[in-house]
Chain A
Amino acid sequence: MNRMHALAKIMLCGIGIFFAIRFTSGMVTMTWMAIAKPSKLSILIPLFWTVIIASCLAVVLYVFLYKREELAKKIVGANELPEPESQIQWLPVAFRLVCIAAGMYCLHIVLWNMTYTLTKYFSFKLGAAQSGYKVLHTAKIVTIEEILIWLITLAVGIYLVCGAPRFVRWQVKKTLEQCKQQAETKKNQ
């Protein structure tokens, strides 16, 4: 097993745990719904969903945790890959990658919120145009606070997608300082 295999195994395990967390949370909620609702029909629906979620959880655990060795081999391939050379500059690269991923997530959040608000606005307009429609909804579709949140998230997202050079430099500097301190502490012990 080379380093890529081990890495693939860890990633698969991570994905498995991620979905396990989501499914466990959903299962507890469904069980609670089954207990909370006294009628037979309302018990059956959450119970059905609990069984479905539990099956999904079992499949995820089996594939991503128990059979991860085989899956990792399939992903990486059977041939032994050459070990990557020692990466001296891996820390800034890792921080940059992390920033880009987080930036993409920020942009996704802004895009999702904007699309949602626009859909709400246009569906409201369509409804209002119909004859015999009475405007009952008095709340604002979008507030200045929301626009401010979008703008900040958008700015943060763009900065992170650009690689956040200053932030990365600061993080690298601090990390190296911390590592130096820890090494000194170990030496003193």
Chain B
Amino acid sequence: MTKMQILAKTTLTVLGIYAVLTLCNSYPGRFMYIREQSAIMPEILSLSAFTVLAALAVYFMIFNNTTFSKRIAGPGEIPKPRKQIDLLGKSLRVGLVFAGLMLLPTSIPTLIKIPKMFLLIGSAIDDIVISKRYPRMLILSYSEWFRNIYDFLKAMLALYLICGAPGFIRLQVRHSLRRQAEFANLSITNSERAENE
């Protein structure tokens, strides 16, 4: 992988995260309509479309972006394998920390709500045990439930990305190394075959 391909890979990963969050952000509105309207087919169709697009973004922009990044950046001078690993790790980390920091301002309200939730758990337990009724704090519409889950996951993702997403970077580097090894094996086999012919 060239330096520019590594840069393209990082850009694609950051944009992939953005794509998934943007697409999933449209879910709560659809859930609201499912509850309010009798005809649910259009909502189910749009939900499916958003899910398929999000899945495509995860697959082609976050995890399997090597081919796409090669097409974006084009050919160039390939550095030594050790330098490649070094560059890939560093550039991915910078990109992911950037993504995390950009998510942080919209995640601060959720992070503030988390300690408040622990305080409210007491009253919820009171409702269940003493009053023997469904806790009032849990009476929410589908869209509200989905919005809360989405906000919580987004906040957790922001924190993970700010910490540098070590697991994800390890996975990406390992994956890239494996692909490179496969490609090298393939080119050796092809050259051997050409020599035999």
- Given A18-B18, A148-B112: 7 more A-B contacts, CB < 8 Å: A25-B50, A31-B49, A105-B101, A153-B105, A156-B105, A175-B89, A182-B86
Contact B90 A175 (CB under 8 A): yes
Least distance between A102 CB and chain B CB atoms (Å): 3
- Do A109 and B37 form a contact, CB below 8 Å, given A14-B11, A25-B23, A101-B98? no
Contact A178 B169 (CB under 8 A): yes
Q: Taking the complex as formed, is A3 at the interface, i.e. its CB lies under 8 A from any CB of chain B? A: yes
Interface size range of chain B in the complex: 35 or more
Please report the number of residue pairs spanning A and B whose Cβ atoms sit closer than 8 angstroms.
Answer: 139
A residues neighboring B (CB under 8 Å):
1, 3, 6-7, 9-11, 13-14, 17-18, 21-22, 24-25, 28-29, 31-32, 35-36, 91, 94-95, 98-99, 101-102, 105-106, 109-110, 145, 148-149, 152-153, 156-157, 160, 171, 174-175, 178-179, 182-183, 186
B residues neighboring A (CB under 8 Å):
3-4, 7-8, 11-12, 15, 18-19, 22-23, 26, 30, 33, 37, 39, 41-43, 45-46, 49-50, 53, 57, 61, 72-74, 76, 81-82, 85-86, 89-90, 93-94, 97-98, 101-102, 104-106, 108-109, 112, 164, 166, 169-170, 173, 177
- Do A183 and B53 form a contact, CB below 8 Å, given A109-B106, A153-B108? no
Least distance between A46 CB and chain B CB atoms (Å): 11
Q: Which residues of B contact A24 (CB under 8 A)?
A: 53
Taken together as a complex, chains A and B put the C-alpha atoms of A132 and B86 apart, in Å, by 71
Q: Which residues of A contact B106 (CB under 8 A)?
A: 109
Q: Which residues of A contact B11 (CB under 8 A)?
A: 10-11, 13-14
CB-based closest 6 A-B pairs = A102-B101, A32-B46, A35-B42, A36-B42, A6-B4, A98-B98
Contact B102 A31 (CB under 8 A): no
- Do A182 and B18 form a contact, CB below 8 Å, given A10-B7, A14-B11, A145-B112? no
- Do A178 and B105 form a contact, CB below 8 Å, given A25-B23, A32-B45, A91-B94? no
Taken together as a complex, chains A and B put the C-alpha atoms of A77 and B189 apart, in Å, by 42
Taken together as a complex, chains A and B put the C-alpha atoms of A160 and B98 apart, in Å, by 11
Contact A9 B102 (CB under 8 A): no
Closest to B49 in A: A28
Contact A179 B89 (CB under 8 A): yes
Q: Which residues of B contact A10 (CB under 8 A)?
A: 4, 7-8, 11, 72-73
Scoring B73, B74, B101, B102 by chain A CB atoms within 10 A of each residue's CB, the highest score goes to: B101
Contact A102 B164 (CB under 8 A): no
Contact A95 B97 (CB under 8 A): yes
CB-contact partner of A174 in B4, B12, B43, B164, under 8 A = B164
Contact B19 A186 (CB under 8 A): no
Q: Which residues of A contact B7 (CB under 8 A)?
A: 7, 10
Taken together as a complex, chains A and B put the C-alpha atoms of A56 and B124 apart, in Å, by 50
CB-contact partner of A22 in B22, B97, B109, under 8 A = B22
